[in-house]
Amino acid sequence: MLHFQLQISSFKDYVQLYKLEDDTEIVYDKSGDRWEVAMTVSDGQFKQVSFVNSIATPKGGTHVAHVADQLVEAITRRVNSKNKGGMDIKPYHVRNYLWLFVNCQIENPTFDSQTKETMTLKAAKFGSKCDISEAMITKVLKTGIVDMVLQWAKAKESIDLSKTMKGVSGPPNKKTKRLLNIPKLEDANLAGGRDGRECTLILTEGDSAKTLAVAGLSVIGRDKYGVFPLRGKLLNVRDATFAQTMDNAEIANIVKILGIEPKKEYHSCNSMRYGHVMIMTDQDYDGSHIKGLILNMVQFWWPSLFRMPGFMQEFVTPIVKVSRRSVVQTFFTLQEYDKWKEENNNGRGWHLKYYKGLGTSTTAEAKEYFSHLEDHSLSFDYTGDGDDENMDMAFNKKRADDRKEWINASNDEEFVDHSKDAVTYTDFVQKELVQFAKYDVIRAVPSVVDGFKPVQRKIMWSAFRRNLKSDMKVAQFAGYVSEHSAYHHGETSLQGAIIGLAQNFVGSNNVALLVPSGQFGTRLQGGKDAASSRYIYTRLEKIARLIFHPHDDPLLEYQLEEGQQIEPRWFMPTLPMLLLNGAEGIGTGWSTSLPNYHPREVIANLKRFLRCEPVQEMCPWYAGFKGSLVLSCDKVGYDVIGVIEKRGPTTLEITELPVKKWTQDYKEAVLQAMLSTDGPGSGQIEDFKEYHTEASVHFVVTVTEAQMAAHEYIGLLQSFRLRGSISTNNLMFFDKDGKIKRYQDERQILEEFAELRLEYYHKRKANLVKTLRQQAEILRAKARFVQEVMDEKLKVKNRKKDVLIEDLRKHGFKTLREITGGADVDIDGLPQGKAGGWEYLLGMPLWSLTAERVADLQAQLKTKEAELEQLECTAPEELWDADLDAILAELSQLETRVKVAASEERIAQKRAAQGLAQSLAKHSRTGSASGGGLPSGAPPATGAPSGQVLAEMQARQLKQTVAEFPGLFDDLLPVKSAPPPGLEKVRGAGEDDETATPRAKSALTLGGFARKKLSAVRAKAKAKGKAKAKGKRK
């Protein structure tokens, strides 16, 4: 028998014997006197070699798990950080690549059997603990295990993706003739057969477009054409996570319909079910985006198909059609139509029809399109690496700066020429897709002039147009906005924008422009708890027309769309609304964020501007917020701090949260996560109660003394996450010229607005002076006309129209159009815009031809001339200052209404608290009499505040309310009666806590002696009273 002696002297030497190759790296570490650990990479299956008190444990056990869990956690954390967007790596995935060596000394170990192959003792009873050092973890992460797990994850992702989106159900390269269980697919008859490469799949934008395509197929047949509708916009696969891609059923369906496999290289379409893909979307900006997303998917996953000539195509339909007699012209882009209008007298004399979407086209038009398919289809041509670069630039989220340059460099007059047979990918990106990108930014980033995004501007213009002074359902108002302002998007988003303009809870609007009549959302859920738009009403706030003054309406530049006048490019408010209500938005390449500011501070700065004084820096302010806003250390933003107070050794009270941190979210994400789960003291807090309303925050948190000490050591604000931040470093807005611009701070925004606003006050004065002069001239002409008719110098009865008009000319009268220059002027008795000739004179009723009417007209003329003289003597700065004063007065009224509502709420809370206290007291007396009450020292019932906490809350609320509104509670609180004799100085017996004269120290003691002494005094007083009563009876 041969014997071998191993040259080892330690566990570390023993581990080295397992080296299979010279480059195998084994990491060794010793943790204390009882633990030795080593690790290397396995071949994909977990392995371990372990000893407990020098006893081999071939099957491991709790000691191996104790070590392995620490390493697996560190490795998993590193792998997931490097696999962002990929599959979620679980601990058992990492464990499979561990080969672990453990040698430990355990006190009184237990095993699963006599063979002692597996240790079963719990880790808490080991007698020691193995803490893996940071040095060992660092070495473990460098062994290559991270890369091995990542390689496995990528391979697993590819396999799972292929299984989920596999386009064939049989062996490779075997096409499926018939596809089942794909909803709404209209498959081509020849798809999946030997002629499948000649088939075209039409991807449509929605079901209505599918109906249009199916109607068109009746012309060209369904053998070689299939139709599949898309639900909205496709996923951007370039930056999508693995989970997003796996869960996207629509992409999976497209892959199956085409009969292709993810990320496979294709040199021909012979193995595919379809040989062409035709995109059929609306001709608007969103339609261009959908085209881009489909092309992006093909370019990213199947570059070979992206480059294949004729594989990608688009179906184009007109966006505008004009006709006159038998002449019909169609336009596929708005740029083409605008250019045609300039050359054809703005389209006058032509019948105009806008095609908002594919659903606008009739069945007959669909058949017409498909009967001339060559005129309505374009192929995408690949011209080189530049096409790939443009697609990556447009859809790679990491290239936001490149997209900014792309948008700024675009030319609005360029458009895709649809008269050609093909368009390059580069031309599509640079001429068509860029228009969507610009429009997306316009929708997301407000204007610095009026602070509105386009949808908000449409809403306010519609409200002014309708003179919305009485309540109207939000759903009904949304329909009005959509009809009159050419709104082209979903009604849900429009209704949400209307609700947003009316919200007034903390963190929303400082100055709401619409009245929230109903449940418009609260700070409990940040407005998400708003009622359905079918059940809530709104109308204009009075202050809205003070900020957006009607005198500025004639000065605005109104837009034209679909042949009708819609909202202006921007309104010209009296105040910079951008500063009052703030702004947030994210668009293509740009985002913006601006906090709210105090209206009074903004007005004060505007008054300084009018007086040529320097504008002062302003601090963000949110109406109703009771916390603090402090300039951050980096001075590029503000720290937003909530309110938390210590009310006792084990009680904390939270009465305010940071701005935009909503009550429900805070409760679920913070307080519930801090609760004790494994018995008293195991969490960060023991319990919390909620006393807040829809407008206020009020948590009462209960902790142990140890937990209180830990929170105070960390800091209550930090421990309870009551510190947020507001950035003022991303102030991107559109300026007055429609160019996006970065602003340094709120003062630059205010000064730029003020300069433009003052310029418009000069324009307003000039327009008002002009209007008053025209109105005076009209009154003068009407008075003279009536007088001359009365004096019989001018005869109007029984005369021909032409003769009468000639006579009016001879007497020096002018038509209304000649007086006003074609502008609309308010005239009594005539509809605005309906009178341009002699109607203002000849349209007067017969009863106007009286001396009293002449005197009335002359009085009106005198008043108008006085008004004109006063206006001419008023500087534009004075007009602005007067408007600011009117807004301040209305703000004061709004603040008063808010305070009154708050006081009424506090009164209601106080009454409810008094009722609760009386009920508890009654219950306590009843329980004592029946013997069924709570035992002495028992804790209060769960959900109700203790008497001490309740009394403190009531006292604080009462003190604050009485200070704000003296005498408010005089008619509600009962008059306190005088205390019984002998108890005048007892605390609380007839005097408030703060004014009561303190008793002697011994009488205030809470021990038994004080209680006995007080009982004796009362008994003595009672006996004395009885004796007196008895003497009187005798």
The residues annotated as belonging to the active site are: 535
Q: Which two tokens stand for residue 1018?
A: 């009362």
Exposure on the CB side of residue 596, measured as CA atoms within 13 A: 22
Question: Taking the CA atoms of the chain, what radius of gyration do you get in angstroms?
Answer: 41
β-bridge pairing 422-424 and 377-381? parallel
Report yes or no: 638 and 619 within 8 Å, Cβ to Cβ: yes
Q: How many Å apart are CA 844 and CA 861, to the nearest integer?
A: 17
CB atoms within 10 A of CB 563: 11
Spatial distance between the Cα atoms of 887 and 881, rounded to a whole number of angstroms: 10
**Calpha distance 746→596 (Å, rounded):** 10
The enclosing H or E element of 702 equals strand 699-702
Non-local (6+) Cβ contacts of 842 within 8 A are 796, 804
Contact 97, 149 (CB under 8 A): yes
CA–CA distance, 882 with 871 (Å, rounded to integer): 13
Contact 96, 45 (CB under 8 A): yes
In 576-609, which positions are buried (b, 16+ CB within 10 angstroms) versus exposed (e)?
bbbbbbbbebebbbbebbbbbbbbebbbbbbbeb
Number of CB atoms found within 10 A of residue 848's CB: 18
Separation CA 54–CA 51 (nearest Å):
5
d(CA 249, CA 784): 79
Q: Please compute, for residue 137, the number of CA atoms within 13 A of its CA located in the half-sphere on the CB side.
A: 16
Residue 146 has phi, psi (to 5 degrees) of -65, -45
Q: In 3D, which of 341, 350, 735, 739 has the Cα closest to residue 560?
A: 341
φ/ψ (deg, to 5) at 463 = -65, -40
Phi, psi of 379 (to 5 degrees): -95, 150
Cα separation, 756 vs 569, whole angstroms: 14
Question: Across the strands, what pairs with 29?
Answer: 37
Tokens matching residue 55: 């006893």
Distance CA 327, CA 351 (A): 10
Q: Report the distance separating Cα 404 and Cα 386, nearest Å.
A: 18
| SS3 assignment, position 476 | helix
> Is 1029 exposed, middle or buried (CB count within 10 Å of its CB: 0-12, 13-18, 19+)?
exposed
| 3 state DSSP class of 439 | helix
Q: Residue 194, SS3?
A: coil
User: What amino acid is encoded at 229 in this protein?
Assistant: P
User: Backbone phi, then psi, for 943, in 5-degree steps?
Assistant: 100, -15
Q: Find all residues with CB under 8 Å of 213, minimum gap 6, and list them.
A: 202, 204, 227, 280, 315, 366
d(CA 30, CA 102): 10
Phi/psi for 847 (5° steps) reads: -70, -10
CA distances from 191 to 187, 196, 809 (A): 7, 5, 81
Neighbour-count burial of 488, counting CB atoms closer than 10 A to its CB (0-12 exposed, 13-18 middle, 19+ buried):
middle
d(CA 11, CA 60) in angstroms, rounded, equals: 17
User: Quick check: 119 and 97 in contact, CB under 8 A?
Assistant: no
